[in-house]
Structure 1
Amino acid sequence: MAEHPAYPVGLRLTGRRVVVIGGGQVAQRRLPALVAAGADVVLISPSATPSVDAMAAAGEIRWERRRYQEGDLADAWYALVATQHREVNDAASAEAERARVWCVRADDASAATAWTPATGRSEGVTVAVLTGNDPRRSAAVRDAVVEGLRDGTLTAPAHRRPRNNPGVALVGGGPGDPDLITVRGRRLLAEADVVIADRLGPRDLLAELPPHVEVIDAAKIPYGRFMAQEAINNALIEHAKAGKSVVRLKGGDPYVFGRGMEELQALAEAGIPCTVVPGISSSISVPSAAGIPVTHRGVAHEFTVVSGHVGPDDPRSLVDWESLAKLKGTLVILMGVDKIGAIAEALVRYGKSEQTPVAVVQEGTTATQRRVDATLATVGETVRAEEVRPPAVIVIGDVVKVHTPT
């Protein structure tokens, strides 16, 4: 039997009895996939790891706290034998053979009637790899294929559109580095017919798109009699109604000063389904890339993220700057480069020390990232003298002085 390759097959285990014998590390690794497949999982073992115990406590599996007995595999469709006792594994495997139950053995693959492949998934595609007795190679091949599907470097377009076509996806592109977009966001980009991109989105990813994809710069949409956001909403609706798969690529996260909810509401009113893909917000990632933790034990127990696109004295401002000045934690300001002088003055006026450290990180996570340090007393003039330009993230607080030991 070992001279012939294994016959690959996908088991549909929803609602079907699966017996797992042994509650150790092997079971801990294999159980989540069986639960995800909808199997009716019965664990037979006198003990289990804490993670397996938690699955039983949550009702994901049924746990019979005892040793294996003859007859335990009755009515089973599939079995996983993974105890530390060879004689138990032999007995369970023999029962499986008699009952014609496909059986995986963790201790002796050559004695098993089924093998577990190295498995990965990417939005509707399951990749399963078998290489005989070389599990590390199986895992390496699996990882390469799944990564290629996820990041779009391995293109395999769907020829059958899913019944619930998302229509429009609002994708958070992260802080700028193309490697920091989420796996799902990158996959949706690879599948898009139209991409409407913000200036702050990860521009390098646009160059990787296939030539048939229409890329629209949101900043250049002709506005006519509409406001800018209305024009973007209309473009999303127009292309989606034309049957296109549309991605709205934004910088950071769609719901962190990204007006994502406005776009979702417009799409909902037009009857167009929308998927929201969260992104890594620059409010946390950019300080991190510049060596600044927004929280640190003994220094800051909280951080607050504020939009600085309108100044403290602007009647449109919704920010309570007086309350912010009294906080002891970290203050992160987005879109505040041209207002930082007025913001710093307001914070000092309301009680913040002039010597409070400030760091301004321009174009964070990209090849042109730079960091400029100052205090509340000097940050306005420093930003002007250093010619800091948006996009930049401003961090105010003692965490700015936390350094990595050298």
Structure 2
Amino acid sequence: MTGSGSTFDLFRTTDDHEELRAAVRDLVADKVTPYAAEVDEQARYPREAHDALVASDFHAPHVPEEYDGVGADALATCIVIEEVARGCASSSLIPAVNKLGSMPVMLGGDDDLKRRYLPRLAAGEGFSYGLSEREAGSDTASMRARATRDGDDWVLNGTKAWITNAGESEFYTVLAVSDPDAGRGKGVSAFVVEKSDEGFGFGTKERKLGIKGSPTRELLMDNVRIPGDRIIGEPGSGLKLALRTLDHTRVTIGAQAVGIAQGALDLALDYVKERQQFGKRIADFQGIQFMLADMAMKLETARQMTYVAAAKSERDDADLSFFGAAAKCYASDVAMEITVDAVQLLGGAGYTQDFAAERMMRDAKITQIYEGTNQVQRLVMARQLIGR
């Protein structure tokens, strides 16, 4: 399953990576974190973060240079997402979902399709991903959305659910059944749908526990006619392409989870070093120190797993499915643990909106659910182990 190289061969952050981290961290401190609480409270799109990320080319750093992007590698893209999530999880979904939505085009699209959409993504037009449906979440092969060929065109009908940044993005990779008779999962195709396409619309925004600044809505397709050259790859290849996409982008959810956890640990450390009880800082109590050590140990393990998976994503290694699932699963579980512990360390203050810990805890939960629940990630890993 795993490669023959040692762990030390799998990745190494370069000076460029660390310079990138510092640049993103500065931008987040100035343009993202100051608005994070307001974005959450008002459940509004983080426009300040969006504009700052676009202006700095951090909104879609994965787009190759040949398509007018900055050509960041998978590890650099993860660093961007991690650092943005450290300040605001909702804002980190801008670069994360732009990669998710456009990855099928990068993996399966022809050069004409790439040249039509990737430069526009690099210029600031967002890209979302439409795979799930209300009754086809983990069971993607049960999707009901239909794509019917009509001459040279395709006509799309149906709905997609839980679509991140729906309504904000200009482009959408949409999966639909193009051949109902092909057998389970074999007749699914992928298409690029544009926000302006006639018959294409959005449901109401979901009212969510966390990541409230990132709109989650249904995609509504009522006889949406699109030209035949907007199919991604060959007809019937959509589900395989969708799953291959997730192998790469689950790594970015690991990075988001690491960023949320780092933000929570930073907050907890600052608090316990200032808070006084029984005549000394609570950071000086051994029980508190044990909690902090466990939080930091788990966080660093999650970070290393995520970076290794990012390196494998960059190389498109054969065991990426295992490592992508492992990074996403472990990092998100750790993010949930660390944010809960951060709330505990802040005591009653952690339970109030005066501190960011409770927001981080709410935001962390979704990382265990989207892009495949952690139960599904364990199935992916197990099937890799037993050779299925």
TM-score greater than 0.5 by the shorter chain: no
Q: Which has the higher contact order (CA 8 A, sep 6+)?
A: 2
Tell me which protein shows more helix as a share of its residues: 2
Normalising by structure 2, we get a TM-score of: 0.24
Q: What TM-score, normalized by structure 1, do the two folds share? A: 0.23
